[in-house]
Amino acid sequence: MTYVRHVLGVTAACALLVACDGRTRDPGAVDALRTAQHKVAAAGSARVDATMGTGDRLASRSAGTLSWSDGVEGTLTVRVTGGELASATRKLGGDPSQTRFLPDAYYTRMTDAFAARQGGRHWIRHPYDAGTDLTPVDSLKALVAAEDVRRVGEETVRGTRASHYRGTSDGQHIDVWIDARHLLVRRTQRAGDFTSTVHYRDYGTSAAAERPPTHDTVDFEDVTGDG
């Protein structure tokens, strides 16, 4: 989930993709997704379990809770699960590591080896940008606006029957599964060699994150490779 903003807009334009497969908007799908968007927004938080991959380079799994009622807030534990960069990532980022989301930025906890290069600071502060897509509300909103949005069918997601919808937004292929309560239970995204799958459950659960100490934090743009 924390890498989604880095891959937005990196593949072909949505209009080109629509022209290639000849599909058009499905009004029924749009209505269903709008209903889900309102339900998920009202729920305000959920427990998440996410996997992310960038081809053969890196794969990871994240788990924790996120809220989105008043900006994004929550804490995820991140584990590296494979890839060519796995060893280097574990050395500098730790395994597991932790990511804390706060309304103004998100923070990743690094190892002592990283801190030795950054004046003893362990946390990287990452600013959000206009393309940041972190919450299930964001994904549903993007899919509602997709020109090729459509209903795929009925499937079972971790024992729950759900309606499957698909579309393309900002160069990303997005699939979502909505249960009988109109809540998002799974989301997948693909763009180039980037893939992400997120499962959502326990809507309404509490989610919080403590801001790392300023003296132990370095801004992303100030991170150096020295040392």
Whole-number pLDDT of residue 17: 33
In a domain, 166, yes or no: yes
The pLDDT of residue 92: 85
Give the separation between CA 134 and CA 65, rounded to whole angstroms: 12
Q: For position 108, what pLDDT does the model report? A: 95
Length of the chain: 227
Number of domains in the chain: 1
Residue-wise pLDDT tens for the chain (227 aa)? 443 443 333 333 233 333 334 457 899 999 999 999 999 999 999 999 999 999 999 999 999 999 999 889 999 999 999 999 999 888 888 889 999 999 999 999 999 999 999 999 999 999 987 666 778 999 999 999 999 999 999 999 999 999 999 999 988 999 999 999 999 999 999 999 999 999 999 999 999 999 999 999 999 999 876 54
In a domain, 174, yes or no: yes
Q: Is residue 184 included in any domain, yes or no?
A: yes
Measured between alpha carbons, how far is 182 from 199 in angstroms, rounded to an integer?
15
Q: What CATH number is attached to the domain comprising 81?
A: 2.50.20.20
Neighbour-count burial of 64, counting CB atoms closer than 10 A to its CB (0-12 exposed, 13-18 middle, 19+ buried)? buried
Task: Tell me the DSSP string of 163-205.
Answer: EEEEEEETTEEEEEEEETTS-EEEEEEEETTEEEEEEEESTT-
Please tell me the predicted confidence (pLDDT) of residue 128: 87
pLDDT of residue 4: 41
Residue 226 lies in a domain: no
Q: Domain for residue 198, yes or no? A: yes
Q: Does residue 95 sit within a domain?
A: yes
| Structural domain of 161 | 4-221
Residue 24 lies in a domain: yes
pTM, two decimal places: 0.84
- What is the residue type of 60? S
